[in-house]
Structure 1
Amino acid sequence: MATPNSVPGGHTFDNIINFRDLGTFINHTTSRDILKPGLLYRSARPDAASNHDREVLLDEIKLKTIIDLRTKTEHSEAKGKFAARQKSGPPGPPTAGETAALPSLNPDPGVDSSDHAVPATLRIEGIKYVDVDLNGKPYSNALLKQLSWRQRAKLYSLYVLGYHKEAISILGTNVLAARGLSGLAEDSLEHCGGEVKALFDLLSDEKCYPLLAHCTQGKDRTGLTVLLVLMLCDVPLEAIDRDYMLSEKELLPERQDKVKEIASIGLPESFADCEEGWAGRVCGWVEEKYGGIGKYLERCGVRAEQQERVRMLLMV
C-alpha cells in the first residue's frame, strides 16, 4: 500500500505513489499560509488505481481534472502494464520508455497518435483528462539536433527496425547524460512554450479544480510543472526545493529497478534520483534568461491577467 507518512495531511492509497497536496505541503514546510489546500495535487502515474484509490480521488478529494504529462510511448506501455489494475499490488517499476527525460521519438509521421492513447479503462470515469506532452516534438527535435548526422541516422534506423532501447541509448549517451536533469528541464522550458501555455490555460480555469498533475514517477516533468506554479505564487525557493527532493524518498521502492533500466539506455544512476540543487538551478535559469517567471510565461503566451488568475485561484 502506498502510504503518505512523509507527507503532511496526505491520503492513503493502495497503488498511487508520490502523491501530495501542494497547498498543505508548502504551508507546512514554510509555516505560512501561502497556498489554498485541496486544490492542486501531484503524483506518479495513477493508472493502477484500485477501487479504493478511485474512491479517494472522487469522493474525498473530489478531483475534477488530471493533467497527464507523459509521452505517447508511455501511454502505449500503460495499455498492457496496468490492464489488471484493480487486482494488482503496487504499480511496477518504470521501464526504459518511461524515463522522465526521454523525448517522444516517432520517426514515422504517419503513425496515428490515437494508437498510443491511454485506454479508457485505465482512466477514472467522472474526471476530465488532458494530455500535455512536455517531452514532445519541439523538445525531441532540440535534443536530436545535438547529435551528429551519423548518430541521428543510426538512431532512426534502429528505431524503425524496432530496436527502441538501442536507439534511445544513442541519445542517452551522447546528449541526455551530459545535460543532466536540470539541463533537460531548461531544454523543456526553452522549447515547449506551447505546452506551458496549455498547462496554464487549465491552471487559470476555476472549473478544473481540484486538479492533479502527473507523469510516470511524478518527479521531473511534474516537478517542472509544479516549479513554475510555485514560482508564480511567490513560494520561497527552499520550499520549492524540498517539494522536488521529497520525490526521491517517495520513489525509493522503485529505485533499484529504475537504475537498471536507465543504465540500459546510457543514462547514469543519478537520473533515478532527484538532482541536488535542481530547483535552484532551474529557477535561476528562468530569472537570468527571461528576467523572471512572469516574463517567461508571457513569452509562452500566458498573459499577465491569466497569471494573476492562477495566483488568485491558488494563493491564500
Structure 2
Amino acid sequence: MAASRTMADAYRNKEEGSFGVLNFRDLGVSSAENPDNKKYIKEGLVFRSATLDNMSEEQVDAFLEVHKIKTILDLRTGMEGREGLPIDKSFPTSALEGLTPSVIMTDEKETKAEPHTSEKYETTGHGTLIRKKYKVDFAGKNFQRYCVFGSCSLRLKIYLIYLMACCQRRKAAYVVGQQVLSPMGVNKMYREFATYCQGEILAAMMVFANPENYPIEVHCTQGKDRTGIVSALIMTIAGVPQDIIVNDYTKTQKGLAPVYDAMLEEVRKSGLSEDFAQAPASNMRDFLNFLADKYGSVEGYLDVIGFGPDLRDRVRKIICV
C-alpha cells in the first residue's frame, strides 16, 4: 500500500493538475469556492479535464488509484484523439443505447441485464469494479448540418462537398474553422451547441443519471467548450450559483497555461481565431443568460431536451451535499 502511494505521489504534477492531465479539477471543490465556503457538490464524484490521451500506463494506474474513476465521458469528435492508448485499456468504450430516459427511470430490478461485453472488470478489495467509457460526438451531425453547413454560402457548400468527396476532411475542417466558426465566435458557437446539439447534450447528461457510473470524468480535447457546457449544466442542477459556475469555467485559462502556446498554434492551424483559445467569464455568463432568456431558465432548457425534473432529482440525490 505504501508503495502505491509513492507511485501516485510520484506521478502527480500540481502544475498540470493531476498525473499529467491538463485542466483537471473536481467540481465538488470548485462548487465550494465561495465567500461562505458553502458546499453544493460532494467531492470525488465529478471531475473535468482536457484529454486523457497523454498519460503513460503508470500515470493511468496512479490516476485511477487516487480518483477511483469508474466512467469516462468523452465529448470529442471522431477526428480527435487516437486509439489504443494506455487510458483505453482501462476504459473500453460502452454502448449508449441503454442511456435513455425511459430505461434509466424504469425500476432497476426490471431492467437489470448482463453488462456490456466491452466493459472492464477489476476485482478489488471492495468487490468488482466496472469501468467504461461513453463517447458522445458533441458537435455531431445536427450541428454540422444545421449550424455549419447551414451557415455556408452556396459556393462554400459546393467547395466543402468537393473536399469531402476527395477525402480531404482536415482541409474541410480548416475551411469551416476559418470561414464559418471564426466569424461566428465562441459565444455564438455555445448558443448553436445548445440549439442544434440537444440530442447529444441529452446523451451526455444521461451518463450522470445512473448512480453506478460514479465517479465520472468528463473531457473533450482542451476541456474548455464542450466540457464547460456539460459541467455548467451539472452544476446548475446541483443548485450552484451562476457566479461560481462562471468562476469554475475561467479556471480553464490557468489550467491550459502550460500548453497555451502550442494550443494557440493548433487553433490557428485549424483556421480558428485566437479567441477560441481563451476562456473569459463572458463566454459562460452569456451562455447561461441565453438559456435563461430563451427557455426561461437552465432547467427549462433541460426540460426541452428531455432531461426533466425526475432525472434532475436523480442527479441531485447522487451528487449534492
What range describes the TM-score normalised by the shorter chain of this pair?
A: 0.7 to 0.9
Deviations 1:156-212 (A, max 9, x none): 212332433432232222221122112111111111121122122211111010000
Deviations 1:123-182 (A, max 9, x none): 997521001111111111121111012101101212332433432232222221122112
1:84 and 1:226 mapped to 2: Cα distance? Answer: 22
1:290 matched to 2:283: no
Q: Give SS of 1:156's match.
A: helix
Query: CA 1:242–1:5 in structure 2 vs 1: closer, same or farther (change >3 Å)?
Result: farther
Deviations 1:102-143 (A, max 9, x none): xxxxxxxxxxxxxxxxxx9xx997521001111111111121
Q: Is the CA contact (8 Å cut-off) linking 1:297 and 1:303 kept in structure 2?
A: yes
Query: CA 1:281–1:158 in structure 2 vs 1: closer, same or farther (change >3 Å)?
Result: same
Q: Is the CA contact (8 Å cut-off) linking 2:218 and 2:227 kept in structure 1?
A: yes
2:245 and 2:13 mapped to 1: Cα distance? Answer: 22
Which sections of structure 1, spanning at least 5 residues, go unmatched?
87-119
Choose from 137, 140, 144 the match for 2:141.
Answer: 137
Within a 5 Å distance, the mapping from 1:137-156 to structure 2 comes to 137-142=141-146, 143-156=148-161
1:178 and 1:52 mapped to 2: Cα distance? Answer: 43
Structure with bigger gyration radius: 2
Q: Give SS of 1:145's match.
A: helix
Q: Is the CA contact (8 Å cut-off) linking 1:67 and 1:214 kept in structure 2?
A: yes
Matched residue type, 2:70: K
Match of residue 198 from structure 1:
203
Match of residue 14 from structure 2:
4
2:210 and 2:86 mapped to 1: Cα distance? Answer: 32
Choose from 272, 279, 286 the match for 1:274.
Answer: 279
Please, what TM-score do these two structures have when normalized by structure 2? 0.78
Q: Is the CA contact (8 Å cut-off) linking 1:48 and 1:85 kept in structure 2?
A: no
What's the CA shift for 1:56? 3.2
What's the CA shift for 1:83? 7.8
Q: Is the CA contact (8 Å cut-off) linking 2:55 and 2:86 kept in structure 1?
A: no
1:83 and 1:313 mapped to 2: Cα distance? Answer: 29
Match of residue 213 from structure 1:
218
Matched residue type, 2:186: L
Match of residue 64 from structure 1:
70
Matched residue type, 1:199: A
Q: Is the CA contact (8 Å cut-off) linking 1:26 and 1:34 kept in structure 2?
A: yes
Deviations 1:20-64 (A, max 9, x none): 111012213451111111100001111222233322333222111
Report which stretch shifted further, 186-195 or 36-45. 186-195
Please, what TM-score do these two structures have when normalized by structure 1? 0.79
Deviations 1:251-302 (A, max 9, x none): 1222212222222333211111213411110000000000112211111111
What's the CA shift for 1:65? 0.5
Within a 5 Å distance, the mapping from 1:230-309 to structure 2 comes to 230-309=235-314
2:190 and 2:149 mapped to 1: Cα distance? Answer: 16
1:74 matched to 2:80: yes
Match of residue 110 from structure 1:
none
Q: Is the CA contact (8 Å cut-off) linking 1:16 and 1:46 kept in structure 2?
A: yes
1:156 and 1:29 mapped to 2: Cα distance? Answer: 50
Which sections of structure 2, spanning at least 5 residues, go unmatched?
1-10, 90-117, 123-129
Query: CA 1:274–1:314 in structure 2 vs 1: closer, same or farther (change >3 Å)?
Result: same
Report which stretch shifted further, 25-34 or 187-196. 25-34
What's the CA shift for 1:84? 11
1:128 matched to 2:132: yes
What's the CA shift for 1:5? 5.2
Match of residue 55 from structure 2:
49
Identity %: 30
Choose from 168, 191, 205 the match for 1:186.
Answer: 191
Q: Is the CA contact (8 Å cut-off) linking 1:19 and 1:42 kept in structure 2?
A: yes
